[in-house]
Structure 1
Amino acid sequence: MKTLVSAHNCIFGSRFLGVYASTMREWPSLQQKYQCYFVVDDVVGLVTQPVDTLTFADKAMVAAGQFVAAGVDPRKASIVLTSELPELFEIAFLLSRTVDVDEVAKRHLNTFAAHLPTAQRRKLGLAANASVAEVSYPYLGISAYALALGADFWQGGSEVAANHQYMTELAELFNREVKRSVFKSPKLLLSKLAQFPAADGTPMTYANRLSIDASEDEVRRHVDAIRDANVFAMWLEVASLTAAARAVRRSGVFGDKERDVLMSGLVSVLTPFREPRVTNRQVLRALSRGTKAAREQMQDTLRSMRAALGFSSYLSRFGVKQSRR
């Protein structure tokens, strides 16, 4: 069975409707076809929004719980927490040997954080100048866990395309250096709704988000704010109202009746997130099981990397046991 990896930060806790539309709603069917790792990346918060570090544990629990509510079966797929993957950091370090520092710095200039004014950086808990971790993790860290998990596919919306390019480059660079195929180059698996708009027609961000656990009043406010027929049709599709979406696309017209239909559909789709039946104990058990499986896979990858580099100690090579006092 081929392996699929999908990664998500937990900085904001609850997922946006855009993430559900572009990524999460496909997971129940994907876990039937692939060995899936659904990653809750709390480490990325340390380099993008460290002021909120103490909240990441709770937010990671919310995100993981919503993964289960979306239909992820922890018996079939692995829900993984990056801060519990110590192997990740050695793998990223070994991959970094092949990377030009100027190239990483150039990639950083394309990130949101690179263009924040000093006052905003300070508000997020970031230093005035970018740290090595801030510059390198989005390039090396995210690629490292996808490659280390043996990803055949990297799944998500259009926002993950850049990460896919990075991990493909890193796999090729490392394989070329060691003259053997340690890493596969994952294929990009874009979702059917890879670019899902907010109610105002612009990309869904923190500022204009609709969280999937939003109240019915909040959902109604967003539904009433939609003015564009194509946007309205896309929202109908997310609510599993395909026929209604086709009708709106054909006519280019929608009114109160169609808004009520969309509202009813969204409320139905989002009820598992607003009224979750998943307990914290179940979420912790899922994270523990999934992270254990991920660590085992990463340990295999790390052994292959070390062997390819000729980098192993006498202890690991010959099984010399250290005496216990």
Structure 2
Amino acid sequence: MKKRLLLGHNPVTGGRHLGQYFGSMIDLVELQDEYNCCVILDDWMDIINYPLEKDKVLQRSLFVLNEFIKAGVDTNKVTFGLSTFFLKELSEIFALILGFVDSDFLDSKYPKTFFGHLKESDRVFLGLQPRPTLLEKSYSLYGPVSYTIGLNIDIFMGGHDVEGYIDHIRHVLSNINDDTHFSVNKTEFMPSKFPYILDSFGEFMTQGNGLFISDSEQNLRNYLKESKSEKFWKQIGYILKSFDNEVKLSYDKEVIENCLIEHLSIFRKESKTNKELLEILYIGSQNIANQICCTTEILKKRIGLLKLNEFD
């Protein structure tokens, strides 16, 4: 039986940048035959953390799914889910999971997150409450934990920025097992092949400084021409060589630029329609909902929650 592999993506910003592509998307293409793969586009987390963007999140989620498909991910092999499409099932297991979270542990971890660092003025600017709500604090850390446990995931894949979720998963599973002897797979972290992709100035690539894979050829070339970092060019040259042995390992900027533009040309091809993309997400989300529901029922029995009809 194939092991279950999970990849989570935040769709609020829309198009993926080069760091996300080389950091996880291309890995998924290579692993989709070896593992039972699932990708969660966690739009519920985005709605919680970016309330001013909530009306745009669905369209951006469809755009991200389209990019995965263009990258070579086969939706017949990889399950894609949108968290708001299975929110009922997710909310139930999330509520159960919180019963095994130490409040001191949560309070110690949240300040280390991006939103935990924000000043009140920054929070208000983003449309958030001046002080973090309990939902914001808990879901940011334990939302992904909930669907990881709910889907009985073996491997959680991503960059080192998401490696911390493994600690949260182990913390919860340890408490669950101590109290209920509830057994699920021990989730391991699989780092991306290229977890740290540099931007044009040699810094860690983010949404704020990234090269977006679906940009026009002209925009891509403009970004590359502004690059001041030799480390950036060497890294991109090395990565391109690793994908294609026919590519000569050269640190000539013009050669690397043309190879990269050609490599990213797949993202400028015809897209699937929104209807087709929604159907993929609906089907995948229903499968995810069914799996989480099964795990939830087992967990509820373990902790002694009875159905009403059991009193008859």
Shorter-chain-normalised TM-score: which range? Answer: over 0.9
Q: Give the CA deviation at 1:196.
A: 1.1
Return the alpha-carbon distance in structure 2 between the equivalents of residues 194 and 246 of structure 1: 23
Return the alpha-carbon distance in structure 2 between the equivalents of residues 238 and 127 of structure 1: 42
Determine the structure 1 residue equivalent to 2:62.
61
Q: Give the CA deviation at 1:166.
A: 1.2
Q: Give the CA deviation at 1:246.
A: 8.4
Question: 5 Å matches for 1:4-83?
Answer: 4-83=5-84
AA partner of residue 205 (structure 2): M
Return the alpha-carbon distance in structure 2 between the equivalents of residues 133 and 46 of structure 1: 11
Contact 1:233 1:244 in 2 (8 A): no
2:173 corresponds, among 149, 171, 174, to 171
Q: Give the CA deviation at 1:96.
A: 0.8
Q: Give the CA deviation at 1:185.
A: 2.2
1:124 corresponds, among 126, 130, 139, to 126
Determine the structure 1 residue equivalent to 2:186.
185
Question: 5 Å matches for 1:81-230?
Answer: 81-85=82-86, 86-181=88-183, 183-230=184-231
Return the alpha-carbon distance in structure 1 between the equivalents of residues 276 and 256 of structure 2: 32
Contact 2:241 2:247 in 1 (8 A): no
Q: Give the CA deviation at 1:276.
A: 3.6
Aligned pair in 2 of structure 1 residues 117, 180: CA closer, same or farther (>3 Å)? closer
Determine the structure 2 residue equivalent to 1:323.
none
Contact 1:17 1:211 in 2 (8 A): yes
Question: 5 Å matches for 1:204-283?
Answer: 204-240=205-241, 247=249, 254=251, 258-283=252-277
Deviations 1:84-130 (A, max 9, x none): 11211111111111111122122110011122222221121101101
2:307 corresponds, among 299, 304, 313, to 313
AA partner of residue 9 (structure 1): N
AA partner of residue 269 (structure 1): H
Return the alpha-carbon distance in structure 2 between the equivalents of residues 233 and 131 of structure 1: 44
Q: Give the CA deviation at 1:305.
A: 0.6
> Which deviates the most, 295-304 or 113-122?
113-122
Return the alpha-carbon distance in structure 2 between the equivalents of residues 246 and 190 of structure 1: 27
Any idea what SS the aligned residue of 1:278 has? coil
Contact 1:219 1:263 in 2 (8 A): no
Q: Is residue 289 of structure 2 the alignment partner of residue 287 of structure 1?
A: no
Q: How many matched pairs?
A: 309
Aligned pair in 2 of structure 1 residues 245, 118: CA closer, same or farther (>3 Å)? farther
Return the alpha-carbon distance in structure 2 between the equivalents of residues 200 and 245 of structure 1: 24
Aligned pair in 2 of structure 1 residues 269, 245: CA closer, same or farther (>3 Å)? closer
Q: Give the CA deviation at 1:28.
A: 1.8
Any idea what SS the aligned residue of 1:36 has? strand
Aligned pair in 2 of structure 1 residues 276, 39: CA closer, same or farther (>3 Å)? farther
Return the alpha-carbon distance in structure 2 between the equivalents of residues 179 and 243 of structure 1: 50
Q: Give the CA deviation at 1:36.
A: 0.6
Contact 1:79 1:287 in 2 (8 A): yes
Return the alpha-carbon distance in structure 1 between the equivalents of residues 308 and 49 of structure 2: 39
Any idea what SS the aligned residue of 2:9 has? strand
AA partner of residue 90 (structure 1): E
Return the alpha-carbon distance in structure 1 between the equivalents of residues 98 and 248 of structure 2: 48
Q: Give the CA deviation at 1:278.
A: 2.2
TM-score by length of structure 1 reads 0.89
Contact 2:111 2:117 in 1 (8 A): yes
Aligned pair in 2 of structure 1 residues 237, 149: CA closer, same or farther (>3 Å)? farther
Return the alpha-carbon distance in structure 1 between the equivalents of residues 174 and 248 of structure 2: 43
Q: Give the CA deviation at 1:46.
A: 2.1
> Is there any run of 5+ residues in structure 2 with no aligned partner, and where?
none
Deviations 1:226-275 (A, max 9, x none): 34433212212444566699845xxxxx4xxx222222222222222233
Return the alpha-carbon distance in structure 2 between the equivalents of residues 44 and 288 of structure 1: 18
Return the alpha-carbon distance in structure 1 between the equivalents of residues 190 and 42 of structure 2: 19
AA partner of residue 35 (structure 1): N
> Which deviates the most, 218-227 or 25-34?
218-227
